[in-house]
Amino acid sequence: MKPINGHTEIAGVIGNPIGHTLSPAIHNMLAEETGYDLAYAAFPVGTGRLEKAIEGAFALGIKGLNITVPYKQDVIPLLCDIDPLAAKIGAVNTLVRCEGGYKGYNTDMPGLLRAFKRDGVDIKDEDIIVLGAGGVARAVVMLLEENGAKSVTIINRNGDRAEDLAGAVNSIAGRNFARPLSIGSYNMLPGDERYIVIQATSVGMSPDTDKAVIEDPEFYKRVKTGYDLIFNPKVTRFMELCSSAGADSFNGSRMLLYQGIIAYEYWTGMSVSDELADRVYEKVFA
């Protein structure tokens, strides 16, 4: 690893808790591989201290920050500018230093799009199912609408939240793109086609790895590709059910990788090749 000196630029990730993060491993390897003089660290920020942390980071000359839970919405009022995609999604996970403060971006969703492409998942003109109706699901549905998906069915335990999300997305899109479906009504999916299904909840995340939003094997007969945004464990219960029904399945590790790569590209002005991305992936997620 290149020695840190007086010219080394600093970046990092802010969250609470933060000890589990893989971002330092991703970014420090990118810096080493590209020869960019940057060091990346994790900064735990306790409840109520986010504003002071952002002000302090700017005062210290920190080049950029990633923002993770629980601060992706709370950071927005503290920015000097926000990218239109991040504003539409309503969440920021990357800060880029500019004059007078930080500009906020959302690299999670562009990262997911690049992960889809690298994993060979084509969303164009597809009818897609999204499991969940929280902030992550909203961002996913907006991404799908902007990138050529035909339609989205939002399935959620709370049917009212699914209806609210579908209504909000359709209002922004100016068309009937999303439709809600309660979790007990998935047998009402029309026709007999198989769907790309994106799992956008925290159900099945470590340590509760034996759970899935939908357990019924009949549902998984309608899945042709399952994409779980969880990356720990590597194989989730949702993925196991997809595979048992003969569907391809993926976890969220490439999304995590590419959201970090896009942030790195913003900070450095560099372009990271898929070959380098694959090397980082093998080292960090092996």
What is the chain's mean pLDDT, rounded?
A: 95
Q: Is it the case that residue 2 has pLDDT exceeding 80? A: no
For residue 1, being part of any structural domain is answered with no
Helix, strand or coil for residue 255? helix
CATH of the domain at 164: 3.40.50.720
pLDDT at 135: 87
Q: Say how many CA atoms lie within 13 Å of 42 toward its Cβ.
A: 16
Residue 179 lies in a domain: yes
What phi-psi label fits residue 61: left (phi over 0), alpha (psi between -120 and 50 degrees) or beta?
left
Residue 4 inside a domain? The answer is no
Phi, psi of 121 (to 5 degrees): -100, 115
Does one domain contain both 246 and 146? yes
Task: Calculate the alpha carbon distances from 121 to 38, 101, 153, 225, 233 in Å.
Answer: 33, 37, 18, 8, 21
135-146 helix and 108-119 helix, angle to the nearest 10 degrees? 60
157, amino acid identity: R
Q: Are 65 and 89 in contact (CB under 8 A)?
A: no
State pLDDT tens for residues 75-104.
Answer: 999 999 999 999 988 999 999 999 999 999
Tell whether 2 is covered by a domain.
no
Whole-number Å distance between alpha carbons of 212 and 205: 9
Q: What is the pLDDT of residue 190?
A: 84
193 & 238 share domain: yes
The single residue of 2, 52, 63, 72 carrying the catalytic annotation is 72
Please check the confidence at residue 73 and state whether its pLDDT lies above 70.
Answer: yes
Integer-rounded Cα Rg, in Å, for the chain is 19
User: Which pTM does this prediction carry?
Assistant: 0.93
In a domain, 84, yes or no: yes
Task: Tell me phi and psi for residue 14, to 5 degrees.
Answer: -110, 135
| Cα 189–Cα 191–Cα 192 angle in degrees, nearest 5 | 95
Could you list the residue range(s) of the whole structural domain that residue 132 is in? 110-251
Lowest-pLDDT choice from 26-30, 58-62, 187-191, 272-276: 187-191
Whether residue 60 is predicted with pLDDT greater than 90 in this model: the reply is yes
Tens digit of each residue's pLDDT (9 = 90 or more) over 138-163: 999 999 999 999 999 999 998 899 99
Residues 227 and 274 in one domain: no
Active site residue 283: no
First to last CA, the chain: 20
Residue 191 has a pLDDT of 83
Segment 265-270 shows an average pLDDT of 98
Q: How many domains does the chain have?
A: 2
